[in-house]
Chain A
């Protein structure tokens, strides 16, 4: 099963629409509700990140009987120091993102805590590709 969603730069009102759609699909597939929560929390945080920091991108979702793989590829500034970005509390979020209830430097650590595998590829002034896998 394969889906794709488009992320539009600064489209804060639609942050969560992809995660919401993924949640509905996983429910229909009768995936364990705890696993669903892990997947959608991670995808939602990544969606907010891409909308907040990048200039749009695409979410690629692949589901089989054993796992879900979600890749979020954005066109953006890239992450200069991934190790620093993974540290809880480190944030470069704008006031707008903070108004939304995010921007406390918890996004990437939260994603890591919810997935079985996380891979971050990033290139300055090109973009970031985050691939996360959750095993059912």
Chain B
């Protein structure tokens, strides 16, 4: 699924990485626990869906090779987070839906689960 299709499905806006809108992701992983995200070593082309919005979310995405992060419930992304995400070529999306709703919508549309 292309990142722009994900954005359309959950009414998300691009915070960073709009130029990578055509990048494909295969898997979705929804978690606020970053140690859980760091167990995804076998999977690539992953979208992280989370309500945890801080520097560690960005660093975790970087270390786990996540393609894009979707922040749910209108979380406020700081300039520092944007700076690191841009440096690492990480796509950041923001939507107003809950973690449950965003994950459910994307799962039913074909984004695969990991565990």
Contact = CB atoms under 8 A, between A and B. Distances in A.
Contacts of B64: 37, 41
Interface residues of A, number: 26
B56 A19 contact: no
Interface string A1-29: 00000000000110110011001000000
Nearest to B35: A106
Interface residues of B, number: 22
Given A13-B55, A16-B56, A19-B59, A104 B36 contact: yes
A102 interface: yes
B33 A104 contact: yes
Interface in B49-103: 52, 54-57, 59-60, 62-65, 80, 88
12 contacts: A12-B56, A20-B59, A23-B63, A33-B65, A44-B59, A48-B56, A101-B57, A102-B34, A102-B56, A106-B35, A106-B36, A113-B39
